Amino acid sequence: MKRLILAWVIIFLSGNFMLEAQTVISNHQYDMLLKNRGEVYFRISDSIVKINPGLLKSLATFISIDRVDKDYVYAYANAKGFSRFLNLKINYQLLQPPSMMLNPEKLKPAYLKATTAWDYYPSYNQYLNLMNQFQTSYPQLCKLVDIGTTVDGRKLLFIHIESNKYSTHYKPQFMYTSTMHGDETIGYVLMLHLIDYLLSNYGKIPQVTNLVDSLDIWINPLANPDGTYAGGDTSVYYATRFNANSVDLNRNYPDPQAGQHPDGNKWQPETQAFMNFAGEHHFVMSCNMHTGNEVANYPWDTWSFLTADDAWWQYVCRQFADTIHAYSPAGYFTDENDGITDGFAWYQVTGGRQDYMNYFMHDREFTLELSETKMPTPSTLLSYWNYDYRSFLNYMHQALDGIRGVVTDSVSGMPLKADVFIDNHDANNSDVYSDSLTGAYFRPIKAGTYDITFSAPGYVSKTLRNVQVQDERLIVENVVLKPSSSGISESDSQDLPQAFPNPAYDKVQFSNITGTATVRFFSLSGEPVLDAQVTTSTSLNIRYLPRGMYLLEINVKDKKYTQKLLLR
């Protein structure tokens, strides 16, 4: 490994203690500390910040604020950031790194116990073996996906879970990731546990079966393996917050307010890999897991104003926290507003993954802080699982509610990428887009009555009025857009008859048919496939049809209309 640990172990092996760093740490020890770990962990009195309200925002531009409570501000800094901090002459206390608070013997991987005991922190090689074993044991349900490598060449891995019951392309994509701060390890193990829980209980527990059938699920348990295994591949002891370049990955993303490189660093390999991955997918909802507090932190982190979907975020996060409270001891997950907070109201973060995903990717992502203790005793991990796993499942289910549908071209029947905008509601990129390959869109939103405008370049926009949405319910609104050059205005009452797929139920539905019509399906080679009598209310079962492109003839009152229909 690039970092040596011997000198640091000598300094801190005596136990859990705190030093008055300005008077105790010698220049030699200070230099050695930063050389070996690439970071320091310290705190300053919260009273200093209260005297100068702008100080915290200024400090956050060059050190990583970890958490803020009623007494202290806790922070990490690399050599450059700590040097700037020292120049401010602020009193501080140097803290023992969280990953070295436990006896290293307690953090040794459990080589002799069952790998699915989930009460230990695995070695790096155990982690790789576990991820490979998921794919080997459940080849029909999951696939191991490698999205890139870290500074030190370790792998950034996802388990992709989905059944073949419905086409993946018409399912909302959902993502869980954890431990982009390498010393925050609870989510690392809980996400391995969640993968196993979903796979092993598919077909056994109805809620699990429904989630796996209905969602396109991606889970990355370890987003910063270089930080987690900074002391070597065999143990999480000595883990660091930062990556191998001493960069905080949760300050390294483009920021909607502070620009492309708010931390002054180039994008790290881990950041680039995740941005490329997010850009290749169409995530509807996601969650990024940390520790250090016990709270569901929803956007924005960088802006003081609320998101357009603040009511939805409060509803979802309140449900998350309240479910935890129902299954955990009193006092757990009660930070800030009894377990939930708007990010900026807690403390400002620029360059965070949460705001990047919400603003640039039109996703719905929140940051989950699982424990005030960054690296708890491994024997407590099963307790955290029992406190939290129901909330993990409930949050996944939220991606199935709200408004969804398919947007297609009125002439060709082909799917369209269209902007789905909630009038007098959406702001700061809270609108979503339908997928260019399938036309499918998904819009989680709080209960209410909305006007929704669908628009795409070269097409006449269409607005659906007074769409009624209920919490915990799904409403399907499929939309057909007309090319703007067709000469057909949106107000024209003689809309063309149309067929469109309803992927959630493997059916084709019809619109704008007066009376009864005859519909004929042909393959693109001209062979007849299916004839049927339909009306506007008909839902034609097409589960037995091979997926692919079809040519349809819809005959209504001696008039024939043709369109292409893509079944996925």
Using alpha carbons only, give the angle 516, 519, 523 rounded to the nearest 5 degrees.
175
Give which of 96, 121, 13 is closest to 377, Cα–Cα. 121
Strands (E), 99-206: 142-149, 155-161, 173-178
Cα–Cα distance, 548 to 167 (Å, whole number): 12
Q: At what angle do helices 186-200 and 206-214 cross, to 10 degrees?
A: 100
**Which one of 184, 294, 336, 369 is the catalytic residue?**
369
With H, G, I as helix, E, B as strand and everything else as coil, classify residue 168: helix
Phi and psi at residue 530, to the nearest 5°: -160, 135
How does DSSP assign 335-386, residue by residue? HHHHTEEEHHHH---SS-HHHHHHHHS--EEEEEEE-SSSS--GGGHHHHHH
369 is catalytic: yes
Q: Secondary structure of 492-507 in the HEC alphabet? A: CCCCCCEEEEECCCCE
Cα–Cα distance, 243 to 48 (Å, whole number): 29
Cα–Cα distance list, 127 to 287, 288, 437, 445 (Å)? 21, 19, 34, 37
Residue type, 252: N
Using alpha carbons only, give the angle 31, 36, 38 rounded to the nearest 5 degrees.
85
Region for residue 240 given its phi and psi (left: phi exceeds 0; alpha: psi -120 to 50; beta: otherwise)? beta
Q: Which residues are catalytic?
A: 369
